[in-house]
Structure 1
Amino acid sequence: MDRRRIISCAAAFLALVACNEAGNFIAYALHLPVPGTVIGLLILLGLLLALRRAPEALRDTAVFLLGHLNLFYIPAGVGVMAYVALVRQDLWPIVIVLFVSTFLATIAAALAFQWTAKLTGRTEGDR
């Protein structure tokens, strides 16, 4: 990778971080009940819609981050290991909530899909 490519990918990563931090700042400053990360993603979406394309460096950076997404679970795993005694104590409520929330999320996704299919006029056989 040449120096110009590294600098452009670093700038793209900085743009992602800037959108995230801007969203966090807006959520904190306005006391919004929405996480700052979600607002940051909406800022990024707005920028991409304004550009009408994803810059190549941003696309490359996103592909790299998504390819190594499993590394982002390491801090959560370490946190669970740090509180393993507490997790063990409340294991059954945690398992029940995980199953119920997964079931409800699946139902919500199916209903959203059906609703979107009705709005767009598409059926199962359409591609």
Structure 2
Amino acid sequence: MIRTFLILLIFQCLGEGFVFMTKMPVPGPVIGMLLLFVFLLLKKEAAPKLIPGVQELLRHLSLLFIPAGVGIMVHGKTVLDEWIPLVIALVLSTAISIVVTALCVKWMSR
């Protein structure tokens, strides 16, 4: 599991470094995930080695929501003051995600 976590952190750091050098307005971890995806496409034998560690990390995924919950509690007044834009952003981003996912599934099923 430590090896898998190390590989994920390496790709996150690569993404962060790429974003820092290019000044792209994209989060570094997103670029890191894309780099990991390309790596796994090019080196197919790496994916089966990562599966056990990834499954273990996914079992504890709920722990990653604790900081977001704390942030909402700390900034509760701001959330209450800005609830309309937040609801609009959530609804729109959910709808866009559903449409993009449907288009990707349709495109990949061909």
- TM-score, shorter chain, exceeding 0.5: yes
Which contiguous aligned blocks of 4+ residues in structure 1 show a shift greater than 4 angstroms? Answer: none
* SS of structure 1 residue aligned to 2:23: coil
Larger RCO (CA under 8 A, 6+ residues apart): 2
- Report the number of matched residues: 109
1:1-127 equivalences under 5 Å are 9-53=1-45, 54-56=47-49, 58-117=50-109, 120=110
Aligned equivalents of 1:55, 1:115: Cα separation in 2? 26
One-letter code aligned to 2:4: A
Displacement of 1:90: 1.4
Displacement of 1:21: 0.5
Aligned equivalents of 2:31, 2:68: Cα separation in 1? 22
* Closer/same/farther in 2, CA of residues 95 and 23 from structure 1, 3 Å limit: same
Please report the TM-score for the alignment, with normalisation by the length of structure 2: 0.82
Identity of aligned residues (%): 37
Displacement of 1:105: 2.5
Displacement of 1:18: 0.9
Structure exhibiting the larger radius of gyration computed from Cα positions: 1
Please report the TM-score for the alignment, with normalisation by the length of structure 1: 0.73
